[in-house]
Structure 1
Amino acid sequence: MIVRTFLIAATAGFIFDWIGIFLPWLLGPMVSLLLLRQYTKVEFEWPKLLRQIGLIFLGIQIGSSFTKASIVLMWSDFPLMVLMTLSIVGVALLLSMLFMKMSGETIATSVLGSLPGGLSQMVLLSEEVKSANSTVVTLMQTFRIFVVVTVVPFLTAWIPQGSHINDVSLDELSTFNLVHFVIFAVLGIGFFVGMKKIHFPLPELMAPILSMAIVQFVTDHPVVEVPSIVLILSQIFVGAHLGLQLEKVRDQLSMRLFGAIVLTNLALIAFCAGLAYILTFIHPINTFLDFFISAAPGGIAEMSITALETGADLSTVTSFHLFRIFFILLIAGPVLTYALKRWLKA
């Protein structure tokens, strides 16, 4: 079944690429397997290991964009990271009230399902609040990723790429430095083990990003480049996982709930586009495309792939999403969970 799943995913990616659909190797597997899972009785299997392998190589490629110069320039973006994150979290909370009225779900379910803080983390937080429906939170978080991954790439395909002021990059790697690579591998393994222990989201992706950024910042020299065929396979691996993630969702999703999820997420995407437009006037070093993908309420892996394909500044997109993840997981999520527990007891 694994081979059959891969052949269907790869074929769909090839077809999407052939007809010119954006992000073909991610969207092709995702859409084809989602539809086949929902409307046929064909059995599929996709090991978690393949998704992890895909995330590792995507993490290496994303990490390679963090040069010493780009990391230094990131400090100038810090106030914008705070502004963007607080704005998106605030609007997400307002939209959770709209979702509550439309769907009839509890305030705890609506709030925890609306926060763009990661599927597994929001589900875990929802399990700590008695009035929260973990199943609905799972559907909300998963469907938001699906809506963002399908809508944002098509929008970015129509956005001019523009140019980056003070755009920086390292010189081409002429010789492979084994010492640098070994240091990167040791750091990556260490980060991965530590992140797994504290249940940090996507350690397979985050560990190589951080280890690559550290090695390249210290050495001012690129470590390794991921071949294009490996990046294609990585996108297929991730796309297949996303497509199969919605297990027979028709059995759990009513039209009322579906409409509330789609409407609130489209509203959040529209707000992110408006916010990105404003930020281009505040900070013209980055393009509208950079800020739009940075603000989009999708997963860091999916938005980084979108940045790779559109030519957006990958280090900017990744750093903005990293900051938002840290803020929601370490501050907003726990604070809101505590407040909901106290308030709902009263």
Structure 2
Amino acid sequence: MYIFLRTALIAALAGWLFETLGIFLPWLLGPMFTILLISQFTSLKLFWPKSLRTAGLILLGVQIGSSFTRDAVLLMWLDLPYMAFMTISVVSLSIVLGLLFKRMVNESLATSLLGSIPGGLAQMVVIAEDIPSANLTVVTMMQTIRIFMVVTVVPFLTVFLTGREQSELTVQAFTFAPTAVLVGLLVGVVLYFGMKRVGFPAAEILAPILTLAIVQTVTGEILIDIPYWLTAFAQICIGASLGLQMEGIGDKLTVRLGAAIVLNNVLLISFTAFIAYLLAKWLPDYIFLDFFLSAAPGGIAEMAITALATGGDVALITSFQLFRLFFILLVASPIVAYIVKKLDAKSGA
């Protein structure tokens, strides 16, 4: 208990310090950087319970879901071709970069591809566990370093981009509709436990997003309004968890492996910026920031937090990120795993 309280105090103070200094995404990056540095360079014991990370993701999912108004959901159908174009482009380049990574560090094909595809740390590791030729340590490092780079580099890049002013954002009035809230709670519980039962990843954040999108679209009501302090609490929970999740990564890296992973991610982030530029030129009614955060190979939670802070269209960005997540988990990863297993069987690996 003492170790947890110490960790919580450090995380909260780090967020407050970053907020005071005016650093971008203070309540996420402050705890993440501080806890990562302490765990990496000192012998101080830190602990963060999984339950708090889950609570943070659920709260963030609720906040993201509240942006899915009826109009936003209906507009998503018009964006499907652009979602498909962006997703297929990013996943295709990820596979090419995986092949390049294989040549650079002489890792197995399974390791290189599963580490390069931006499908999420936990999800890719679970898939890698089912493939004997995959090196779990390297896959974990590749996905973890990508999260670290995207969470640090992309938000700071957005500082130089033009978002929407508060007056330009569509603000929907929060109304308490008891029946709709009760229906939302029931749908959310069923979705969450249904997803957990079948082992679907990221249920903590996807269930509330889908629940609010469904209920608010059907009823036309805005069911909840998350206050700033609760959003900050959610970000602390996620940031502290990310910081501890990256513990010990530096001890496992070689210079050659680290350079290859960094190059892999720099090229991928640069390519997503290029794709965002093309779409912004092609569709002048949208802004570059929205497409950049939509294409960035980070997690839904991290990109949504960045969107909230920069004036991005949270519903649009989350829609694109969700589409890519579903495509990678349901289409790209199973195909890659199947092909790799067939090749391993032929080579006797």
Q: How does 1:1-346 map to 2 (within 5 A)?
A: 1-162=3-164, 168-170=170-172, 172-173=173-174, 175-346=175-346
1:28-64, CA deviations, whole angstroms, 9 ceiling, x for partnerless residues? 0000000100000000010001011111111111001
Question: Hey, what's the Cα distance between the residues in 1 that align with 2:186 and 2:67?
Answer: 20
Q: Report the CA distance shift for 1:70/1:180 in structure 2 as closer, same or farther (over 3 A).
A: same
How far apart are 1:250 and its partner, in Å? 2.4
Question: Hey, what's the Cα distance between the residues in 2 that align with 1:317 and 1:26?
Answer: 19
How far apart are 1:167 and its partner, in Å? 6.6
> Aligned with 1:51: secondary structure?
helix
Question: Hey, what's the Cα distance between the residues in 1 that align with 2:200 and 2:140?
Answer: 18
* Aligned amino acid, residue 13 of structure 1: G
Question: Hey, what's the Cα distance between the residues in 2 that align with 1:198 and 1:116?
Answer: 22
Question: Hey, what's the Cα distance between the residues in 1 that align with 2:95 and 2:165?
Answer: 34
294-303 vs 9-18, which moves further: 9-18
Question: Hey, what's the Cα distance between the residues in 2 that align with 1:125 and 1:58?
Answer: 26
Structure 2 alignment gaps of length 5 or more: none
Question: Hey, what's the Cα distance between the residues in 1 that align with 2:208 and 2:37?
Answer: 32
Question: Hey, what's the Cα distance between the residues in 2 that align with 1:16 and 1:335?
Answer: 43
Structure 1 alignment gaps of length 5 or more: none
How many residue pairs get aligned? The number is 343
The answer on whether the counterparts of 1:64 and 1:212 sit within 8 Å (CA) in structure 2 is yes
* Aligned amino acid, residue 317 of structure 2: V
Root-mean-square deviation (Å)? 1.4
How far apart are 1:210 and its partner, in Å? 0.6
How far apart are 1:160 and its partner, in Å? 1.0
Question: Hey, what's the Cα distance between the residues in 2 that align with 1:118 and 1:127?
Answer: 14
1:217-274, CA deviations, whole angstroms, 9 ceiling, x for partnerless residues? 0111100111110000000000000000023122211111111111110110000001
The answer on whether the counterparts of 2:164 and 2:311 sit within 8 Å (CA) in structure 1 is no
How far apart are 1:284 and its partner, in Å? 2.2
Runs of 4+ in structure 1 over 4 Å off:
166-169
The alignment's TM-score, normalised by the length of structure 1, stands at 0.96
Aligned-pair identity in percent equals 51
Question: Hey, what's the Cα distance between the residues in 1 that align with 2:307 and 2:6?
Answer: 30
Question: Hey, what's the Cα distance between the residues in 1 that align with 2:170 and 2:160?
Answer: 25
Question: Hey, what's the Cα distance between the residues in 2 that align with 1:163 and 1:14?
Answer: 25
The answer on whether the counterparts of 1:67 and 1:169 sit within 8 Å (CA) in structure 2 is no
> Aligned with 1:199: secondary structure?
coil
1:166-214, CA deviations, whole angstroms, 9 ceiling, x for partnerless residues? 97543x12x4221111111111101100110121121111111111111
How far apart are 1:150 and its partner, in Å? 0.5
Question: Hey, what's the Cα distance between the residues in 1 that align with 2:321 and 2:190?
Answer: 22
The alignment's TM-score, normalised by the length of structure 2, stands at 0.95
How far apart are 1:103 and its partner, in Å? 2.0
* Aligned amino acid, residue 344 of structure 1: D
> Aligned with 1:15: secondary structure?
helix
Question: Hey, what's the Cα distance between the residues in 1 that align with 2:146 and 2:279?
Answer: 24
Q: Report the CA distance shift for 1:147/1:48 in structure 2 as closer, same or farther (over 3 A).
A: same
